[in-house]
Amino acid sequence: MDPCYNHTSTQKIMDFPLQLLVGSCLAILIVITLCGNIIVCLAVTLDRRLRSLTNCIIVSLAITDLLLGLLVLPFSAFLELTKEWPFGSTLCNIYTSLDVMLCTASILNLFMISLDRYFAVTTPLRYSQVVTPSRVTVGLIVIWTISLMVSFLPIHLGWNTNGTAVQNTAPSCNKECTLEVNPMYGLVDALLTFYIPLVIMCITYYRIFKIAREQAKRINHTWCCSSNTSMPPTVKEHKATVTLAVVLGAFIVCWFPYFTVFTYRGMWGDSRVKGTPMSVVLWLGYTNSALNPILYGTFNRDFRVAYQHLLHCWRTGGPRRSRLPTPKKAQSRAKTCRQDQGRQESKPLKLEMRNGISLTNGALKR
């Protein structure tokens, strides 16, 4: 007789209407994650203007989130709806390892993007010397090395459990698939993959915001002194503030609850947090992978243009036709350009320098 025949699951299965509602929401989230990150990869691949080192990191983030949507989220949704894992302990540990690895890689890619933007703003003249292809490659290798070290290695060696056994390998009638957390694993994993990157990201984004405000103040001062209008250009400052707030805020809202619960489980026991609270914080973290294409795509003008081109091509079934000006318009534009060029040549060339030195027609003046 099967010893598990009369066993009932310790987790309550949802009613069918609630199961249908939750399943629909999870399916929509998975589709958004897949489609959004595919569009990011296609946009950078097909648009030459987007081929930069910064966007290479964004593509790495998109590939990571895409793999999460393909390899992890469908199984997580199935486990969420059925409360059972019928695929065996080996696949369970592979699934949990992929979950930890891809979520860690996604967070560290966000961390690397913040460092890239920090160097671009604080050292714009030396940016190409500081952020080089070889250093970006090394950074990506480090990201995936750390992700493997906190996922497959400890889970398959039993370093994350309270004993010496590997998780989910003991005979059980529950058919559960859970990630066990002991105090050491919970603390090290949370510090290394979330809390330390979070602190550094807050510092870098604060510095970027501070520099942006100082530049905006200088522009406003120049505008007020040289223009008769009373409308200073504060729109860019406001936009930069909103962008940084949304990017950092979304990251904190999505991942801070999960890692707080994760650390709590490691310190005070796995059995204290289960059921709906654990599901909510877990899927809140997954939501960040669906938001990343929106946050790092739509806030960038080049990405928005590339998205529009892709959507136009999908609707029409072909590339967008180039809109060339008519001969009369082309002649009119050429005539205007020649007139502007003549006016510019008639004016003395004057270059303003920061130290008060100006050059006028090649002569040095103070």
* d(C-alpha 267, C-alpha 183), whole Å: 5
pTM for the predicted model, two decimal places: 0.80
**Angle in degrees, 0-180, between the axes of helices 53-71 and 276-295, rounded to the nearest 10:** 150
At residue 24, the pLDDT reads 96
* d(C-alpha 271, C-alpha 134), whole Å: 45
- Residue carrying the six token digits 């199961």: 19
At residue 280, the pLDDT reads 94
pLDDT tens digits, one per residue of 124-173:
889 999 999 999 999 999 999 999 999 999 999 999 998 888 988 876 66
Distances in whole angstroms, Cα of residue 204 to Cα of each of 20, 47, 89, 177, 231: 43, 29, 42, 38, 30
| Domain boundaries of the chain, sorted by first residue | 16-316
Are 213 and 237 spatial neighbours (Cβ–Cβ below 8 Å)? yes
**Percentage of the chain with pLDDT > 90?**
47
* d(C-alpha 125, C-alpha 127), whole Å: 6
Predicted confidence band at 185 (pLDDT cuts at 50, 70, 90)? very high
Is the domain spanning 16-316 CATH 1.20.1070.10? The answer is yes
Given a cut of 70, is residue 204 above it in pLDDT?
yes
At residue 352, the pLDDT reads 38
Contacts 24+ apart (CB under 8 A), 230-236: none
